[in-house]
Structure 1
Amino acid sequence: MEIREFAERVLLSDSLEEKLKAAPETLTDEQPGKPLRIKEPGRPANLQFAPPRTAPGMPKPSALVEQDKRALAHHIMANHELQALEVMAYILCAFPDAPTEFRQGMCKIMADEQRHTRMHKERASVLGLEFGSLPVNCYIWKKALSYESVLDYLAGLPLTFEGRNLDHAQEFEQYFLDAGDQRSAALMKVVYRDEIQHVAFGLHWLRKLKPDHLSDWDAYEQHLHWPVRAALSVGDTFNREGRKQTGMTDEFIEQLYQAAQTDLPPNQKPKNLE
């Protein structure tokens, strides 16, 4: 199968089963096709993006002692993972001239996103909530429409949205443990390990594709599109060790932390974890 065929199936299909179907072990990139941009991905009727501010928000940590709130959390995270998958497919279609090595690496990351979506979907179901039975938002997807280059994508999704998940995945692991939900906590541990690799992939390609005269930090900041900014790559806690494991320099990590300290209101400043 061609990478383009796999990407179009994920991006355009209105069947969740088709979107989450694993790609063949070998994907070729001999026919990357012409650039393709669309306003919204194909989705089944029950997963169409809801109007702004109509999808339910993430429950507060203290509410996760309730089973229905944990189910809601998994429902929301399943949609986050699905959006990330769709954005990756979109990038493969929108920038067919990107290096084949990058495109093949993206397909491996997409396999993780498919798996994460299924994991959250299945866990929500066990907890009593079928995926698609509640409205879902389009925040990650809408932000991707501003990407004008692969570098924009790398700054926006791997280094900001997935970078934030280096904090969130550990936070939710602990929230679920506090609620006595060992299975949900174990799921978040798997997601966390994968996110380290995803952020590392983004950092690797930022370094390969950026102009030589730009530092990692300058390239990152220059390719963010407002309102997405460096401070949004940080959760309620700041996981330095996880970021070190991605290959970020100590200087880059400190710049992220300081961006959050400077840019976020006092009640949103992250706690510093060593």
Structure 2
Amino acid sequence: MEREGTIARACRAVLLAADPRAKVKAARAAARAWRRGETAWDFDVAMPDAPARPERPALLPPNRMPKRGKAGSERSRIALLHALAHIEFAAIDLAFDMAGRFGAQFPRAFIDDWIGVGADEAMHFALLDRRLAALGSGYGALPAHAGLWEAAEATADDPCARLAIVPMVLEARGLDVTPATVDALEKAGDHRSAAILGRIYRDEIRHVAAGTRWFAIACERERIAPVPHWHTLVRRHFRGSLKPPFNDSARGAAGLSRDYYAGLAGEEVA
């Protein structure tokens, strides 16, 4: 089969797509071409320092973000869904950057996993954006968090650090908080939004599992004990603290044992 392009160029194209619909389209096309064997496993271009961004939403520092309030009113639910859509939009770039930046250092299965994660994130974003439209809003209508790419910048030179922070800290935090958010949406009568978040939650368990598995593989290759190395990387690269309560069941299903995070619970790091 004649192949069109390389996996690095496909990942770079996703990162450089600014328009949300174009980014989703590029992500889906990259995943489809990779699954069909139409893309060469070649890393012939570098990933950009930062992804392209649309003109909206306005990006604000975390301390300037408006409070969302409870999930009971439609206005607060729109704000919640918009914030989640922004996280998923950034997660598309994080997944494709993972594949394009670090894929040459791992077996092909690493690309399989992270291209799949990126396709999931694109689908999650599309679902949330569609739900926002049904509620009379859309992605870009509200300001959003400016700091989501900081974790990528801080770990751009170390695949272990990227795996430790993005899936094993940031996405794992989603496993902790999403069930309560789903319950709040159900109580507010927004069953459609709750169903979307339930789908995202189930997928994110697989994403955390991929990160945990590849982190262990990378540590084994370097003959480093995974848990203490993870503690070192989190202290070095993550700003803030790992805040309980933890969803031990979902984290355990992802292979992220308490050995990793319990020892750092509540500790202010970075």
TM range (shorter): 0.7 to 0.9
Q: Does residue 56 in structure 1 map to residue 53 in structure 2? A: no
Partner of residue 256, structure 1: 261
Q: Does residue 14 in structure 1 map to residue 23 in structure 2? A: no
- Is the alpha carbon distance of 1:50 and 1:154 closer, same or farther for their aligned partners in structure 2, counting shifts above 3 Å? same
* Displacement of 1:94: 2.8
Distance 1:247 1:190 in 2: 19
Q: Does residue 86 in structure 1 map to residue 93 in structure 2? A: yes
C-alpha contact (below 8 Å) 1:230/1:256 kept by paired residues = no
* Displacement of 1:130: 1.4
Partner of residue 41, structure 1: 51
Q: Does residue 198 in structure 1 map to residue 202 in structure 2? A: no
C-alpha contact (below 8 Å) 2:90/2:149 kept by paired residues = yes
* Displacement of 1:113: 0.3
C-alpha contact (below 8 Å) 1:58/1:73 kept by paired residues = no
* Displacement of 1:151: 0.9
* Displacement of 1:174: 1.1
Give deviations 1:139-173, integer Å, cap 9, x for gaps. Answer: 22122101121111100111001111111221211
Q: Does residue 215 in structure 1 map to residue 220 in structure 2? A: no
C-alpha contact (below 8 Å) 1:41/1:86 kept by paired residues = yes
Q: Does residue 102 in structure 1 map to residue 107 in structure 2? A: no
Distance 1:191 1:125 in 2: 18
Give structure 1 regions of 4+ aligned residues with deviation exceeding 4 angstroms. 261-264
Q: CA RMSD of the aligned region, Å? A: 2.4
**Secondary structure of residue in 1 paired with 2:13:** helix
Q: Does residue 31 in structure 1 map to residue 42 in structure 2? A: yes
C-alpha contact (below 8 Å) 1:12/1:42 kept by paired residues = yes
C-alpha contact (below 8 Å) 2:164/2:230 kept by paired residues = yes
How many residue pairs match? The answer is: 255
Taking structure 2 as the reference length, what is the TM-score of the superposition? Answer: 0.85
Q: Which letter maps to 1:80?
A: I
Taking structure 1 as the reference length, what is the TM-score of the superposition? Answer: 0.83
**Secondary structure of residue in 1 paired with 2:105:** coil
Q: Which letter maps to 2:142?
A: L
Distance 1:246 1:215 in 2: 19
Distance 1:258 1:30 in 2: 39
**Secondary structure of residue in 2 paired with 1:206:** helix
Partner of residue 75, structure 1: 82
Partner of residue 198, structure 2: 189
Q: Does residue 122 in structure 1 map to residue 127 in structure 2? A: no
Give deviations 1:213-260, integer Å, cap 9, x for gaps. Answer: 43331122232364616943x46x321111111123xxx315523422
Distance 1:104 1:58 in 2: 38
